[in-house]
A and B are shown apart, each in its own frame.
Chain A
Amino acid sequence: MASKRRSTREPSDIEEQLDFFVDAPPDDDEDDDDTSDDDVSFEDDGSGNDGSSSDEESVYSGLSELTDDDEIGDIITLKNDSESDEADESSAGEEEETESKKKITEEAEEKKLEEIETEKETQDSNDRDQRIKDVSSKKTAKKLEDKALPKKKLRNQKLLESHLNRLNEEKQETEEKDKFEEDKKEDKERTVDISSLPSSSNEKQETVDEYEYDSSDEEDIRNTVGNIPMEWYDGFDHIGYNVRGEKIIKPPTRDELDEFLSKVDNPDYWRTVFDKKNGEDIVLTDEDLDIIERIQRGKYPDATVDPYEPYVDFFTYEKMIHPLTRRPEHKRSFIPSLSEKEKVSKYVGAMKRGWMKTRQQFGKEQREKEQRDVYYNIWTNEEDTVLSKRQLSHIPAPKVRLPGHAESYNPPPEYLMTEEEKLMAKSKEEYSGRPRFIPQKYDSLRTVPFFRDFFRERFERCLDLYLCPRQRKLRTRFEAEDLLPKLPKPKDLQPFPTTLALLYVGHTSYVRSISVDPTGQWLASGSDDKTVRFWEVATGRCLRTLEVEGPVQCVAWNPNAAVSLVAFSIEDKVHIVNPKLGDKLITSGTDQLIADYKQPEEVKTSPLVEWFEAEEKKQEEGFRLCLKHFKPVRQVTWHGKGDYFSCVIPTGQNSSVIIHQLSKRRSQNPFRKSKGLVQCTSFHPTRPFFFVATQKHIRVYNLIKQEMTKKLLTSAKWISSIAIHPGGDNVIVGTYDCKLSWFDLDLSVTPYQNMRHHKQAIRSVCFHKRYPLFASASDDGHVIVFHGQVYNDLLQNPLIVPVKVLKGHSITNGLGVLCCEFHPNQPWIFSSAADGIIRLFS
């Protein structure tokens, strides 16, 4: 604000001066143009002006002074609000309003006012005379008179000011100040400033020596206190001091009543203003009122001002031959500047290097750039392009997946999600943190909005393109059908057991082992219920039951059809029994064979095995011989001829396999050293080979050469059973880790094929003697029958096809099928299970 105030003050000061000298020149504006043309304007404009204008001017100058005191703003606000009032009452204006408020007149006051008025009138007339004089006789103006004039003027000004103040005060009570209004005020200030112009231009007309009289230090010196708030004298009985230093006594204070009376009585009350400084009332003249009114309307205070005067060009456009000044040019102007030279050289350098361009150059370049084809045929000679190694190893980014029906704006109804599905999707979205696509349906195309995630999807695609590591993956499209091995249909591989034909019911506990008579008529089974039962295969009848002293581990029928003998192991004993079934000749022949034995002279007694003949009682039941071993026997296996049989004693260390000879009642321990935990043994069907299965391996021994010929590596953890193909070249091994391995002895020592078809441990495996069949029985209650064709051609691998899964056995105590055995002639299979039932599938 301070700077603004300063700027407003400067011209006003000048104006002040001008006001005091009626004939002051118009040099008052900030504009340089105006100040420069003093002389000429004076010469040009010669027409005089009447005195009234000068009078107005004085009032105006007072106003301009007011701007100094920051009062002008208030005046203007007053003006703004009173505009409407003006419309109603043209002459009285706003003052009348205040008048109406104080309708009670005071006659005494009126008198005073009248006095003052007359006084003022005289002053005014004086003024006017003075002006006229000034105008008419320009050089006869006297200083004294001049001095008096400003004094009067000043007084007038002060009065005006105070009157305005009062008006303002009254107004302020009723109105609120807005910022908007303040803005307007500022505008008005400007107008006031401008308005000072024309008044001065008016002065131009009077050609007066502007320096004749200086009134800059002149002021109203009736009261010498200066420009101070008069409230400071509130407590005193005087209001200041005159030039002589005497107190100016305060005029008697008027109360409301006085005020009212004066209002009523004094017709000039409305134009009366109280001068606080000098303590007197001043009645405003018509000119003053006119000015106030004009200001309120936002016009120039001076009626004669024409803001749109024609512009007068000062300089001529014609070139003058003579210089304006006669001063010779300085020497500097002839010597080239060093700094300029440096600058130029710098620019030259910059231009040479292309950093700097002239405007023309720049424009030309731009034009060229625009004209040049931005795009051209970039693939001109495609054939010649040779791809570099780097380009060849480029991995193109996968294309974006194309949308399905669900993404349609109007999808088929089945693709829309139900509420439940939406909830599910939402929960999944929360879980994975990725927004899930929810199909939506819109009735018409015009309602489809911009896709919310559109830019996010574009952004993610971009990220994928430059951030995602790429890898070339060879992916071959498989059909499930292609992966299935091409095998002959089971139908073409018949016969094999398919349906459950018979149940052999009688045992009450696990049937651990079964064995079929070589003719295929009888079946022997040994169970944990301490019985050995003999069944008729065709009918399922139990023909005989032998009570024994313990659970039967293994039952084995002598494979020689000419002999009717069954061996079974109970704990450490192995009994050899003649079941007396079938052909009487054979049974009696067998008895004869056993009875024919003559004890040799020197009998080698071994601590491992003892041979006994059965007791008389037991002889009747069929028991013939008994072998007592040093430890429990787990398995008994006959040699194909039916003379030898081997026993497995798993805990027997180095004598865990013992081979017995029936005809000579002799036993031998073939191994010196322990080979590990022997699981089972088997004789080769045709050649003198002997298979011993330990926990993980199978050893094949040549009995004649008495050496190991092969060691089969099963990769199993625990072997449960083995079976030898009747041809003798193939072996199947069942393991407790659910695996069934087929070994081709000619091929290698590792399995030709491993089959994991069972869910539980395999308990038993067996080959069919005539048909190309083999089977595995497992704890999961299933017996799987395979077709296992072995070809004579060595080049052709055996064909293994699972043909049937036989189900039916129930699982008891986690045990399923414990033993399975093929019928010697028919494509039938017997299986015994932990539930105590033997089943025949045919």
Chain B
Amino acid sequence: MGREKKKYTSGAATTYISRTSAIKKLQLHIIDFRRLCILKGIYPVQPKDPKKAGRGARIPKTYFRLKDIQFLAHEPILWKFRERKSHKKKMKKALYKREIKTLQQLVKNKPTYTLDHIVKERYPTFADALRDLDDPLTLCSSFAVLRKNHKIKGELVPLCRRLIIEFMNYVIASRSLRKVFLSIKGIYFQAEIQGQQITWLTPYKLGYQVPKKLDLKIISTFTEFYTTLLGFVNFRLYHSMNILYPPKLFLSSSSTENKDGTSFCLDDEDVSERVASLALDLIKEKSTVNAEAADEEESRTKEDEELIAGANVDTEEYKKAKEEEAKLNKFKKLFENCKFFLSREVPREALTFVIRCFGGKVSWDKLLFIGATYDENDESITHQIVDRPQQAKQHLSRYYVQPQWVFDCVNAQILLPVENYFPGEELPPHLSPFVREKEGDYIPPEKVALLERLEGIKQSDLQASGSQDDEEEEDIIDDVGDDVEEFEAFDEEDLEGESQLMQAEEKRLQQMKEETEKTETGDGSVKKARKRKRKKKSLHVTPGEIIKTDEKEEARLEASQEMKLREMMIPKKKKYIYKKIRQKEQARAKRHKRLTTKREKYEEEQRMKKAEKIQE
């Protein structure tokens, strides 16, 4: 017999450490500890058995991993914290002693620290950093709208703005935006960068306010780290695209403000503002980049072919992937042939960002913001985005649409018809592109319509892919000078195609309906007739009444009974989960029902209103 092992010398009791003891161990003030945890990304963990972790104590506590805390103890920034603390004391002392010279010296020698090593340590690979980019982007974009505050360092706000603008410029250059959503919380953007979905939210600017009760210190500590991270990510992203990192603009002499020649000696601020306008392309590192890209593409296709030849790849899958890619490429060029002009009242930055992400050209009133590339009177403008019901002067050569059109087009991945989006029109509902309806979920009728339309377009693509596409491409290549005509033609074609499709679809649906009706009615009647005939032949009495049995109802009942019997046999272990799932399903069904009834009611009301109007 060995000696009895002491309690709490191994296992959960030693792998976890409570927060108070962690602070004691690190000899830090709680504020510094909090900062350190935020910067280093150390978070409390929930032990499997809290009682064991607390060495028998039942009081709920927050626990950290002991390894994490030991790791924190070796952090160089910890020493900087201590230095800062003593520096603060010195400053105070000098201030009270009125030693101005010392004070000045101290101010100059304020200990500073960088967070570079922490970024590398928290995100060992670039993919990790990209995966975690949602929060940094959201926080930085919310800080970018912030005004200077005594709680926030002065340089943080412009830094945040710069970084977010740089990131947006990258997204434009790489055309990696996928989804946008105008929520009442702000505007959601979703980009796909190197296979990672990155979603961020930017606030609206109208009526901005920061609640006074909020402790902005915590948020600004987060932001401090996030700016560092975002800077490195931006650098890496820019270099992956061969763009110069502190972004520089490709200023052509065609831009309106450069006629007087001042553009060639822009000062830094001007450049940064022009970058912020998002309207101009960034300079790539080498001029041969385009050729490289082309080469790359060629080589890739060659490789693919070789692979196929080697029969290592499933051709079917390959085809599918190819199709998908083609679709994506088309999506990326959604606004390629459009030229937009933004009115003063629309959110300039968001719209410019979205339009430029899909290859469109944008400009605005040059008094509104720097970087306007063409004037309102430019005849080649195809769309003007306005948000007021009435316009003073209208050009006939362009569509006046509300900003929602742009966002809806992106989410639908096609250019939607503009009729519903004319100024003053009641807009169709704006739907979230992030919702993936499962079976049994409620799908708003607008979405159903959109899906149907998309499918119709797909089919048409398959049918008439060869001829039309080629034609279009040729058109695009030919007409560079007189854009307007080409665009109009393009649009008309599109519209016509769509309308044709719609008609075809309708016809098909009608046919289907008729067929089904026929089969239903036909079957029933034929059977009944046969029965009658038999009876008449065999019995020659007045035909008895047929007991109507609702077959469907019976089948349903039977099925439900069967289901119940099966449910009875679920083992006890799984019964709880099963019940929960069922409850969820029921709740979903309930919600579905509620929403559908609401919608029906609304539509009924609308119809009534219409009828009243007509009567009047």
Contact = CB atoms under 8 A, between A and B. Distances in A.
Contact of A379 (B37, B236, B565): B236
A479 to B, nearest CB: 8
A412 B206 contact: no
A448 B429 CA distance: 15
A403 B34 CA distance: 30
A390 B188 contact: no
A584 to B, nearest CB: 43
Contact of A469 (B45, B239, B435): B45
Interface stretch (B20-28, B213-221, B497-505): B213-221
Contacts of B139: 458, 462
A108 to B, nearest CB: 73
Interface stretch (A209-217, A481-489, A819-827): A481-489
A375 interface: yes
B142 to A, nearest CB: 6
A456 B445 CA distance: 34
A442 B182 CA distance: 11
Contacts of A389: 67
Interface string A463-492: 101111111000000111001110101100
Contacts of B108: 357, 362
Contact of A405 (B129, B245, B431, B582): B431
A450 B208 contact: yes
B234 interface: yes
Which of A356, A362, A467 is packed against the most chain B CB atoms within 10 Å?
A: A467
Contacts of A176: none
A376 B599 contact: no
Interface in A558-615: none
Interface in B181-211: 181-186, 188, 199, 203-211
Given A374-B231, A451-B184, A444 B387 contact: yes
Interface string A440-467: 1011111111111111111101110111
A447 B387 CA distance: 9
A377 B237 CA distance: 10
A349 to B, nearest CB: 13
Interface string B558-586: 00011011111111101001100110010
A752 interface: no
B435 A405 contact: yes
B417 interface: no
Which of B43, B125, B126, B444 is packed against the most chain A CB atoms within 10 Å?
A: B43
Interface string B96-136: 00000000010011000000100110011110010110110
Interface in A342-375: 350, 355-357, 362, 373-375
A517 B123 CA distance: 82
Nearest to B203: A454
A404 B432 contact: yes
B541 to A, nearest CB: 28
Interface residues of A, number: 85
Interface string B335-368: 0000000000111000000000000000000000
Contact of B578 (A391, A396, A413, A483): A483
Interface string B593-612: 00110110010000000000
Interface in B34-52: 34, 37-38, 43-46
Interface in B344-398: 345-347, 387-388
Contact of A408 (B46, B184, B231, B445): B184
A387 B598 CA distance: 54
A466 B41 CA distance: 7
B333 interface: no
Interface string A385-410: 10101110101110110111101111
A224 B46 CA distance: 100
Interface stretch (A118-126, A645-653, A799-807): A799-807
Contact of A390 (B71, B109, B125, B126): B71
Given A379-B126, A450-B203, A462 B431 contact: no
B185 A456 contact: no
Contact of B582 (A350, A356, A480, A489): A480
A298 interface: no
A396 B131 contact: yes
A104 B600 CA distance: 100
B222 interface: yes
A659 B71 CA distance: 80
A755 B184 CA distance: 53
Interface residues of B, number: 101
A450 B207 contact: yes
Given A379-B120, A484-B567, A471 B46 contact: yes
B62 interface: yes
B288 to A, nearest CB: 21
A87 interface: no
Contact of B43 (A390, A443, A468): A468
Nearest to B117: A378
Given A445-B403, A458-B138, A483-B577, A490 B222 contact: no
Contacts of A518: none
A622 interface: no
Nearest to A473: B46
A450 B232 CA distance: 30
Interface string A313-330: 000000000000000000
A414 interface: yes
A397 B68 CA distance: 16
B195 to A, nearest CB: 15
Contacts of A408: 181-184, 429-432
Nearest to B565: A802
Contacts of A375: 231-232, 234-235, 245
Contacts of B347: 445
A415 interface: yes
A471 B429 contact: no
Contacts of B44: 467-470
Contacts of B429: 405, 408, 410-413
A382 interface: yes
B245 A409 contact: no
B309 to A, nearest CB: 30
Which of B234, B568, B572, B574 is packed against the most chain A CB atoms within 10 Å?
A: B568
Interface in A772-824: 800-805
A403 B562 CA distance: 39
B183 A407 contact: yes
Given A445-B404, A458-B139, A466-B37, A356 B105 contact: yes
A757 interface: yes
Given A411-B430, A451-B203, A487 B569 contact: yes
B434 interface: yes
Contact of B404 (A410, A414, A439, A450): A410
B277 interface: no
A782 to B, nearest CB: 11
Nearest to B63: A469
Interface string B145-171: 000000000000000000000000000
Nearest to B207: A449
A466 B120 contact: no
B112 to A, nearest CB: 10
Contacts of A439: 184
Given A412-B599, A465-B135, 6 more contacts: A403-B183, A414-B598, A444-B427, A448-B204, A448-B206, A459-B218
12 contacts: A379-B120, A379-B232, A382-B124, A393-B65, A395-B43, A402-B199, A403-B185, A410-B427, A448-B206, A450-B204, A451-B204, A469-B63
- What are the 3 closest A-B residue pairs judged by CB atoms, nearest first? A402-B434, A471-B46, A414-B599
Interface of B: 34, 37-38, 43-46, 62-63, 65, 67-68, 71, 105, 108-109, 116, 119-120, 123-126, 129, 131-132, 134-135, 138-139, 142, 181-186, 188, 199, 203-211, 214-215, 218-219, 222, 231-232, 234-236, 239, 245, 345-347, 387-388, 402-404, 426-427, 429-432, 434-435, 444-446, 561-562, 564-572, 574, 577-578, 581-582, 585, 595-596, 598-599, 602
